[in-house]
Structure 1
Amino acid sequence: MRAIDLLNGRLKLRHLVLLVTIADQGSVLRAAEHLHLAQPAVTRSLREVEQLLGVELFTRGARGMTPTLFGEAFIEHARAVLAELRRAGERISGLADGETGTVAIGTLLAGSNVLLPRAIAALKRDRPGITVIVREATFVEQVPRLLDGEIDLVLGRLNPIEDVRGVRQLTLYSEPVRLVARVGHPAHELGRPVLADLLAYPWVLPLEQTALRHELEQVFAAAGLRLPGNLVECTSILTVRTLIQDTDMIAALPELVAMTSEGIAPLPIPLDPVRRQVGVTLPDRRPLTPAARLMLDHLREQAALVTRTGST
C-alpha cells in the first residue's frame, strides 16, 4: 500500500475518530453508544478502513475488541492527527479571543502540591474560560503523551533527556529532597540518625523507572546498604502522604511536599546527591497553544514566588 492511498479522499476524519473510540471503549457497541451512532454504522465504517488499508485492525475476544499489530500502529498515528487538529482549533480560538482553550498538564511528584495548584488558580482567575486537564503518571509514561500531543507540558523534577528526542526542558527552581516520617515516629527520637538506622522501618519509594528512585538507590549504595526489604513502591502523592501519616513508613519527598503536609516532619539525614531541579518538559518542535503558553507563564511566576518565599 502506498502512502498516497490515504490522501485520495477515501479515508475520512470520522474514520480516525471511530478507530480511536473503538480502541478506547473496547467494543463496537460501546463505541457506537459513545459516538451516538448505530452499531451497524460503526461496523460498516470499520470495515471501510480495513479494506482501504488491506489489513485487520482489531480482533474480537472475550474482553472485547483488541487492536492488532497493524491497529496499534495506525491508531497511534490517528491519535496524533486528531490531537493536532484539536490543537489547531484551540489555537485559532485562542488567537481570536484569548479567552478559551484547553491545556493538558502531565504532573510528577515535585511541583504537584504547591506550584501547580497556585499556577492553575492564577490562570483561572485571569482566563476562567480555559479548561485545565491534569494527568498524573511517571515521566516515562508522560513522554509519549507529550510527543503525540495528548498533553502540552510535563511538570516535575527534570529527568535526563539525552535519549529522548523531540523534547526540551526549562528549569523553574531548585528544591531539596528530604527523608520524612510522621510526627511522633520513633526515628525522630534517634538524635543524629544515619541511613542504616532507618532500615528497620518500612519504606515507600518511587517506582523503579523514575529518576528519584534511581538516585535514592545510589544514595543507599554509597552508604554500603541495600534497599529496605519492607517496601512499597508508589508515586501517587495522596497515597504516599497517607501512608506516611498513618503508619511508620519512611519516604523521600520534595521539600515543599514535606513542609506543607500536615503530620509529616523531615528527618535530619541529608540527601545531597539527589538532583533538585524542578521544571517543565516541552515539545521541541511543536509550538504551544495560547492556553499552554499562559499556563507556562503562570508556572514561571509562581516558581519565582516559591523561590523568593522559600515555601508557602
Structure 2
Amino acid sequence: MEKNGLFSQRIRLRHLHTFVAVAQQGTLGRAAETLNLSQPALSKTLNELEKLTGTRLLERGRLGAQLTLVGEQFLTHAIRVLDALNTAGQSLNYLPEQNNALVRIGALPTAALGILPEVIGQVHKQQPDLTLQVATTNNPMMLAGLKSGELDVGIGRMADPEMMSGLSYELLFLESLKLVVRPNHPLLQTTVTLSRVLEWPLVVLPSGTVPRQNAEDLLHSQGCTLPTGYIETLSASLSRQLTANFDYVWFVPSGAVKNDLRQGSLVALPVAPTGIGDPIGIITRIDAPLSAGVQSLINAIRKTVPD
C-alpha cells in the first residue's frame, strides 16, 4: 500500500505522455521530436517513471525501444488515463457528432496487407461516403487503442486475459509462418533444408514479435540458430522489395504474402512450420455498440476470409 500510495502521489502526466510516445514511435529520438523535447530530457522522464514503478517498462537497444511484458500491461492503463482526460476536456466544448460515417481500424501489418485491401474495396462500393482510418500497429497498442476508444475495430491476435479484459474476440483464421523467396532463387534448384536456407541472407521481424518468436522456434526445432547478418524490420514493403529483387529469404506470416504467392511474384519454400499457426481475429469492445459502418466492415471481413 505504501508503494502504491507513493506512486499515485508522484506520478505526473508528463510521465505518461512520454511513455506512450516512446511506445508509439518505437525510438526515443522520434518520441522526443513528437513531444518537442530533447532526448536527454525524455530519457530522464522515462527513468523517473521506471523508478516510480519499480520495474523496467522499456528495453532500449540499437534498434529502438521495445516494451517489456510489464510495459505492455502498463501501456493499456496509461492510454486509458490519457484518453479519459482527453474525453473530459472534449466534453467541455461538446457539440453533437455530425460524422457518424467514420470507422477507425487497427490492424497488424500482416492483416492489413492480407485482408484489408479486398475488404475496403467491397465496403467502399457499398458505402462510398464511409471514411476509413487504418492504423497498422503492434498487438498491445491495438488492444490499448480499442480499450481507450481510439479504435472501433481491430484485426489482431488473442492476448493474455488481463489485456483482453473488456474486449470481444472472433477467430478468423490461423496464420502460419512462411519462408519465401523470389521465383528464380537458387535455393529452388536444390533440396531445401533449413541449414541450406541459413546460407542465404535473411529478412526477419524484430525481436519480441510473435512472428520472430515463431521463426526462432522453427530454427531451434531443427537444431539451428539465427545467424548474424540478417535484416530486421517491421516494414513489409521493404522486406518484399528485398526478397523480390535479391537473394533474401523472408520469414513472414502467411497473411502478408497471400497475394504475392497467389500471383507468383514470391514463392514459398517447402519448409513446414512448427505448431498450428497463430489465431488472427476480429476484436471489438464489449461495452461499445457497433455503428453501421463497423458492422458493414466486419461483415465484409467475414465474407473475405474463407471458413
Q: Same fold (TM over 0.5)?
A: yes
- Is the contact between residue 214 and residue 274 of structure 2 (CA under 8 Å) also seen in structure 1? no
Paired residue for 2:189? 189
1:110 and 1:198 map into 2 onto residues whose CA distance is: 23
**Matches for 1:106-121 after TM superposition, within 5 Å:** 106-121=106-121
How many pairs are equivalent?
A: 239
Paired residue for 2:161? 162
**Matches for 1:7-22 after TM superposition, within 5 Å:** none
- The structure with the largest alpha-carbon Rg is 1
- Is the contact between residue 205 and residue 213 of structure 1 (CA under 8 Å) also seen in structure 2? yes
Scaled by the length of structure 1, the TM-score of the pair is: 0.65
Paired residue for 1:139? 139
1:252 and 1:61 map into 2 onto residues whose CA distance is: 37
Structure 1 residues 247 and 60, CA, compared in 2 at 3 Å: closer, same or farther? closer
1:146 and 1:207 map into 2 onto residues whose CA distance is: 24
2:133 and 2:117 map into 1 onto residues whose CA distance is: 12
Once the two structures are TM-superposed, the CA of residue 233 in structure 1 deviates from its matched residue by 2.1
2:189 and 2:200 map into 1 onto residues whose CA distance is: 14
* Percent of residue pairs identical: 21
Once the two structures are TM-superposed, the CA of residue 253 in structure 1 deviates from its matched residue by 2.7
State the SS of the aligned residue for 1:301.
helix
Once the two structures are TM-superposed, the CA of residue 80 in structure 1 deviates from its matched residue by 5.0
Map Cα deviations across residues 217-245 of structure 1 (whole Å, 9 max, x no partner): 22222212212322222222212211211
- Is the contact between residue 140 and residue 210 of structure 1 (CA under 8 Å) also seen in structure 2? no
Scaled by the length of structure 2, the TM-score of the pair is: 0.66
Runs of 4+ that moved beyond 6 A: 82-85
- Is the contact between residue 188 and residue 267 of structure 1 (CA under 8 Å) also seen in structure 2? yes
Structure 1 gap ranges (5+) = 1-19, 25-58, 95-99
Matching residue's letter, 1:222: S
2:230 and 2:216 map into 1 onto residues whose CA distance is: 13
- Is the contact between residue 142 and residue 154 of structure 1 (CA under 8 Å) also seen in structure 2? yes
**Matches for 1:1-312 after TM superposition, within 5 Å:** 75-79=82-86, 81=88, 100-156=100-156, 158-164=157-163, 165-191=165-191, 193-261=192-260, 263-273=265-275, 275-303=277-305, 307=306
2:267 and 2:277 map into 1 onto residues whose CA distance is: 21
Paired residue for 1:29? none
Structure 2 gap ranges (5+) = 1-16, 22-34, 50-77
Once the two structures are TM-superposed, the CA of residue 62 in structure 1 deviates from its matched residue by 5.5
- Is the contact between residue 203 and residue 249 of structure 1 (CA under 8 Å) also seen in structure 2? yes
